[in-house]
Amino acid sequence: MKKDKINYLLSWEHKIFKHKRLASSIKEDFLLLSRHNDRLIHLFCTCNICEYLERGIKTTKYVTKKPAIIFKIGKKKYAIDIETGSMLTRRKALIAKGIYLDYNYNGWIFIVTKRKNVKKCKEIGNSIDIRYIKNKLDKILKSKK
């Protein structure tokens, strides 16, 4: 992208975000425009995971109380929710979300963006650190075969 276009987008509240894609191990710069209620890391993880999964699986993204990403493998329905830490202050809501995910999906994961919060989320259900997303997704994708 040309520098003048980047500057134009930055003036319209886009932000530069540096992170690794799931498909590569090199840090790249991304130009993101987050929604009013999302952090950049949440937006990046959602788009990055969908991009990684869409090599053969149809994914659905949500902005509501539903999980961030829902996808099907065979007859099993999976959900991925990205936890940035804001729900940890509302513990009852987080527990209710875990119960909802248990009831409605065959498998689900909380992807936690801050390492220090993984332990708290593990009390609710299946939670992993952002660094291990690729390994977990690869295990789920292998179950497809």
In this structure, is residue 10 part of a structural domain? no
Question: In the prediction, which pLDDT does 142 show?
Answer: 83
User: By residue range, what is the domain housing residue 100?
Assistant: 38-144
In this structure, is residue 53 part of a structural domain? yes
Question: In the prediction, which pLDDT does 39 show?
Answer: 78
Question: In the prediction, which pLDDT does 130 show?
Answer: 86
Binned average pLDDT, 10 residues per bin, the chain of 145 residues = 78 80 84 75 86 85 84 90 81 87 91 87 87 88 72
User: To which residue do tokens 């809501």 refer?
Assistant: 93
CATH of the domain at 98: 3.40.1350.10
In this structure, is residue 138 part of a structural domain? yes
Question: In the prediction, which pLDDT does 105 show?
Answer: 93
In this structure, is residue 85 part of a structural domain? yes
In this structure, is residue 31 part of a structural domain? no
- Other Cβ atoms within 10 Å of 8 Cβ, number: 11
Question: In the prediction, which pLDDT does 108 show?
Answer: 92
In this structure, is residue 11 part of a structural domain? no
User: Alpha carbon of 30 to those of 13, 16, 44, 94, 105: distances in Å?
Assistant: 13, 6, 9, 30, 32
Q: How many domains does the chain have?
A: 1
In this structure, is residue 17 part of a structural domain? no
Q: With CA atoms as reference, report the closest residue to 79 among 61, 52, 54, 57.
A: 61
In this structure, is residue 9 part of a structural domain? no
Beta bridge partners of 69: 61, 80
